[in-house]
A = this chain, B = another copy of it.
Amino acid sequence: MAEMKKNDAITAQEVDFAQWYTDVCRKAELMDYSSIKGFIIYRPYGYAIWEQIQHYLDHKFKETGHENVYMPMLISSSLFQKEKDHVEGFAPECAIVTKGGSNELEDELIIRPTSETLFCEHYAKIVSSYRDLPKKYNQWCSVVRWEKTTRPFLRGSEFLWQEGHTIHETEVEARKEVLDMLEIYNRMGRDLLAIPFATGQKTDKEKFAGAKDTFTIEALMPDGKALQSGTTHDFGTGFAEAFGIKFLGRDNALHPVHQTSWGVSTRLLGAIIMVHGDDNGLVLPPKVAPIQVVIIPIQMQKEGVLQKARELENNLKSLGLRVKLDDSDRSPGWKFSEYEMKGIPLRIELGPRDLTQNLVTIAKRNSGEKLQVSLDELSDKVTMLLETIHGEMYNKALQYLLDHTTDAHSYEEFKEILENKGGYVKMMWCGDQSCEDKIKQETNATSRCMPFNQEPIGDVCPICGKKATKVVLFAKAY
């Protein structure tokens, strides 16, 4: 493996992981701060990654029969208050509009923190028969939640996301929807982001405000903390009862619809940065990288170099790859460092000596490996390398996840693992919220999910000693 040199522009991960994270966000030009706390600017390079995610998911959503819509940005307070649990969960985080067009408003308006209430109001108007079901809608937008502590992409007062909202005739269909969408998210991790997730159901304490059941994908960061990366919610008929979304069923009687919602956000950018990044900056998974290959000509002024570089650029672009040729007058050293910081998966170096040998040098960002490749087989090799890199990045992240998922059979062991190793701690649980509360209070760890694989590792809840009913993954979390 080639030497990996530390980039001085950013703090080393070992020195201060949190500072490394913000350094990368800024130096890789993913974002910038605005003058309002918690409201960030998504710069072109950061937004382009989000566009790749949007493109992937939007296609999957449409393929599975979902349609995009756009609901208003503002919610009237009376509408917002219709579902009790929901308003309790979100009210403390709301941004509120009290003036419009130079006048005080009679009724305060809430900037959407999430749009369940808007979808409910609309669904109640347009659904009357089982023939109108299902409705499977999605919207891409930003939402506002007033946060005290904010970090780029991970927790912001405004963030970009998609929110799916569906209504169904039966409980079974709604449950299938939330599990199907969770699987779409899970596969996005595997196939697009090269990020493996722990998946499962949230406990009642951790579920969404207003949901009957919440399911989650949870990524694991290199500092041992979990990052909730997407959730799907089965609302049962709770919202439907509160908002009067009823339909005449096949039995000619009125029934409430069975409802779901699900979303992922720009928080996924935070996951990509942390899971894959290193002390030289960002390391982007090839499928989500806005630029997959950067071509850097060496001794550009020498005859044939730039011409060959442009030829390579065009050849690779014609394969559908995202390619950048940097023919600016910066030094090759500056360029190497810049595109390492930006995490571009493959760098192709091309100089006069290479030309005479009909060769180029390819450097893999994820491993630092360098290869010499004949120009004749460059196209095949680049395509193959991008696939290989994706696999290597996924496997590395998966190995870390597996290595940092540890069984605990006692509370002592639980605390010891959490303290010394971090990651997920798998433990039996009785099902009482008081045990979760105790764990959170004493260790700052929370239940991340009850994994789908519920093979027991014991009989009792190590916290209270009562009969255990569930296997739970606990972790400290973002």
Contacts and interface: CB of A to CB of B under 8 A. Distances in A.
8 contacts: A39-B74, A41-B69, A42-B69, A47-B67, A94-B100, A95-B99, A95-B100, A99-B108
Contacts of A76: 35-36
A76 B33 CA distance: 13
Nearest to A142: B73
Contacts of A41: 69-72, 118, 122
Interface string A14-39: 00000000000000000010111001
Given A95-B99, A101-B148, A160 B79 contact: no
Interface string A425-462: 00000000000000000000000000000000000000
A67 B44 contact: yes
Given A34-B118, A68-B44, A158-B73, A146 B39 contact: no
Given A34-B121, A97-B111, A101-B147, 14 more contacts: A32-B122, A34-B71, A34-B122, A35-B76, A36-B109, A39-B73, A41-B122, A44-B68, A92-B102, A94-B99, A95-B97, A96-B98, A100-B146, A101-B148
Interface string A62-104: 0000011111111010010000000000011111111111100
Contacts of A67: 44, 47-48
A125 interface: yes
A36 B76 CA distance: 7
A32 B79 CA distance: 16
Contacts of A118: 34, 41
A385 to B, nearest CB: 26
B93 A101 contact: yes
Interface of A: 32, 34-36, 39-44, 47-48, 50-51, 67-74, 76, 79, 91-102, 108-109, 111, 118, 121-122, 125-126, 137, 141-142, 144, 146-148, 157-158, 160
A105 B117 CA distance: 25
B126 A72 contact: no
Nearest to A107: B36
A interface secondary structure, majority: mixed
A40 B71 CA distance: 7
Contacts of A101: 92-95, 146-148
Given A96-B100, A97-B111, A121-B35, A44 B72 contact: no
A142 B91 CA distance: 23
A154 to B, nearest CB: 16
A145 to B, nearest CB: 9
Given A36-B74, A73-B142, A68 B51 contact: yes
B96 A97 contact: yes
Nearest to A72: B39
Contacts of A102: 91-92, 94
Contacts of A34: 71-72, 118, 121-122
A116 to B, nearest CB: 14
Contacts of A100: 94-96, 146, 157
Of A35, A71, A141, most B-chain CB atoms within 10 Å: A35
A125 B48 CA distance: 21
Nearest to A144: B73
Contact of A97 (B69, B92, B97, B122): B97
B74 A158 contact: yes
A100 B94 CA distance: 6
Going nearest first, the 6 A-B pairs with the smallest beta carbon separation are A101-B146, A39-B72, A44-B67, A42-B70, A96-B99, A100-B146
A35 B124 CA distance: 13
Contacts of A40: 72
A111 B122 CA distance: 24
A220 to B, nearest CB: 28
Contacts of A109: 36, 95
A40 B118 CA distance: 11
A109 B96 CA distance: 10
A376 to B, nearest CB: 31
Contacts of A71: 34, 41-42
A474 to B, nearest CB: 28
A111 B97 CA distance: 9
A391 to B, nearest CB: 30
A83 to B, nearest CB: 16
A255 B52 CA distance: 37
